[in-house]
Amino acid sequence: MVLTPKSHIDELKDQGYTILRNVLDPETDIQPLINENVQVLKFLIKELNKQGKINNTYEGLDGPDLFSKFIIDTGQEFFGNFNILLNFSRAPTAEDQMYLHPEMFNLLRNPKLLDSLEQFLGPEIAVNPLHITRMKPPEKALPIDVQQHAVGFISKTNWHQDLWAFQDEANDTDVVTVWVPMNEATENNGCLVVVPESHKTGELNTHCKPSETVKGFKGIPDSIVSKNRVPLPVNPGDIIVMDVLTEHSALENKSDGLRWSYDLRYQVANQPAGQGIRKAWTVRSKSNPDSEFKKFEQWEKYWEDIKQYEYNSGGPLNWTRYSLNDPMCV
């Protein structure tokens, strides 16, 4: 059944998520970003070999298979080069890496994507700087510490609601999560799973912070998540739009290949982003087109300034919505 815009809005309100099919063209909207990533990885591999940090040229591998093998071998160590997230919990260094390349900027600004989001957000749209790259090789092949302490970037994602990652100033911001697959996401390779209607309580469930016993990302204890869990398989070109209170996780990748996606967040422009000094940047404005970031260099400078600021000031604002002392959190 093809949903009309009104029914997507209703579905998002009623269920806490909605899937929009064939928003993007895999050939012209997605493949260029894949190609760009591969080019960046090949360059990185050369550099790391020159610096003696790795000893493998990965000859004969290409595309997602190259990523898969590289991440299996190196775990989280170099993943910052491909992530579009600067982690709040890191201690900033002058060498902080992040994926800042033109095709990523093009995806964030993709007119088809923005057209499809207008129904939820209206004509004044900004990119919220909380966005993440997920590149997940087969879970069983990952380094054992990654398997044991799922961090969610390169391994399975634990249950959470995205609102936990927003500071209080954004409590009234109109913001949605937009999940964009680069390749087919299936139950076998670790697609997203949601609890329908879980956004309706209007509150954050208990989120546990990482501890000595469970390192990495922890989230809502599985035992208190409803059993009504719905996997959301999607194809490249489709997007999933979610409420920031919808409880969700991602399954383990049991396939033999890489599962690759981006979770982006878009909001109404000029509302608080809830990300400390990282403000939302306008990507579409009917009322003030000059306020839009139109050039890649603007986006690049925005992040370079943030990195510099956080480095000089000793780190991003220290904050948390984790439950620190909940008995659930062991």
State the residues that interact with ligand AKG by CB under 6 A: 134, 152, 157, 162, 177, 179, 192, 248, 250, 261, 263
Which secondary structure element, helix H or strand E, spans residue 281, and what is its range? Answer: strand 281-285
Give the nearest distance from C-beta 325 to ligand AKG in angstroms.
25
Give the nearest distance from C-beta 110 to ligand AKG in angstroms.
17
Give the nearest distance from C-beta 185 to ligand AKG in angstroms.
8
Give the nearest distance from C-beta 246 to ligand AKG in angstroms.
9
Query: Which is closer to ligand AKG, CB of 110 or CB of 189?
Result: 189
Give the nearest distance from C-beta 60 to ligand AKG in angstroms.
29
Give the nearest distance from C-beta 50 to ligand AKG in angstroms.
33
Query: Which is closer to ligand AKG, CB of 263 or CB of 310?
Result: 263
Query: Which is closer to ligand AKG, CB of 54 or CB of 186?
Result: 186
Query: Nearest CA to 158 among 265, 250, 253, 260?
Result: 250
Q: Which residues contact 75 (CB under 8 A, 6 or more apart)?
A: 142, 143, 145, 146, 154
Query: Which is closer to ligand AKG, CB of 110 or CB of 161?
Result: 161
Q: What distance in Å separates the CA atoms of residue 200 and residue 299, rounded to the nearest whole number? A: 35
Query: Which is closer to ligand AKG, CB of 48 or CB of 238?
Result: 238
Q: What distance in Å separates the CA atoms of residue 173 and residue 178, rounded to the nearest whole number? A: 15
Phi, psi of 182 (to 5 degrees): -90, -30
Give the nearest distance from C-beta 300 to ligand AKG in angstroms.
24
Q: Are 243 and 12 in contact (CB under 8 A)?
A: yes
Q: What distance in Å separates the CA atoms of residue 261 and residue 84, rounded to the nearest whole number? A: 11
Phi, psi of 27 (to 5 degrees): -75, -45
Q: What strands, in cross-sheet order, belong to the sheet with 157-160?
A: 157-160, 248-250, 192-194, 230-232
Structure tokens, 137: 């090789």
Strand, coil or helix: 124: strand
Query: Which is closer to ligand AKG, CB of 45 or CB of 220?
Result: 220
The DSSP secondary structure of 206-246, one letter per residue, reads P-BPP-SSS-S--BS-GGGS-S--EEE-B-BTBEEEEETT-
Query: Which is closer to ligand AKG, CB of 152 or CB of 276?
Result: 152
Give the nearest distance from C-beta 272 to ligand AKG in angstroms.
19
Query: Which is closer to ligand AKG, CB of 136 or CB of 284?
Result: 136
